[in-house]
Amino acid sequence: VGELTLLHQAIRLYGEKSYAEAIPLLRELLRKEPGMTDAWTQLSNTFHKLGRTEDSLEALKQADRWKPGDPVTLASMANEYFDLGDFAQAKLFAQRSIAVSGPAESHEVLAAVLMHEKDLDGAEKEAREALERGHMGHVKPEILLAQVRKARGDLAGARQRFQEVLA
């Protein structure tokens, strides 16, 4: 079976939420073509869906090894580090992604880290940046903005923002 066929089969299984079935196909593909970064990224996404955060991060590290500095890979690494509770690494990789024009998710992760660090101004700035860069309609930046309002003592403003998100 050709490499692209394996990748397409794995993506189809992923789309069908058959994550565990996709993993052996991706592993076989990566044995044949270890430099195929799309396959490493797909493996990472698959592990992420299964809640296997550390495995997801390892796959992302391989993608970064073959294609260093990819902004989407860096943003995904930031997200995985955040999920692992390693806020320093999450911040570092979010900043690295942003430095190379990373996606809105980089700003979202950085906002969450800054909120964790109690840097309300920074968290608000990054959450707004995530929304401005096309993360409109995504709930997390909106929730972060509501949390900033709550942390500042603006309970009515926080409640209003939450109600807008839920509407």
pLDDT tens for each residue of 65-94: 999 999 999 999 999 999 999 999 999 999
Contact 114, 126 (CB under 8 A): yes
pLDDT at 165 over 90: no
Q: What is the average per-residue pLDDT within 108-121?
A: 98
Residues of the chain with pLDDT > 90, as a percent, come to 89
Rounded CA-CA distance 97/120 in Å is 21
Under 8 Å CB-to-CB from 52, ≥6 apart: which residues? Answer: none
Contact 94, 110 (CB under 8 A): yes
Say whether 155 sits in a helix, a strand or coil: helix
Rounded CA-CA distance 91/121 in Å is 16
Q: Would you state the structure tokens that stand for residue 87, as one six-digit string? A: 């806020």
Cα 63 to Cα 30, 45, 134, 145, distances in angstroms: 11, 12, 25, 32
- Tell me the pLDDT tens digit for each residue of 145-156: 999 999 999 999
pLDDT at 3 over 90: no
Contact 82, 91 (CB under 8 A): no
Label residue 138 by pLDDT band (50, 70, 90).
Answer: confident
Per-residue pLDDT at 1: 62
Q: Would you state the structure tokens that stand for residue 56, as one six-digit string? A: 């997801």
Rounded CA-CA distance 166/142 in Å is 10
pLDDT at 136 over 60: no
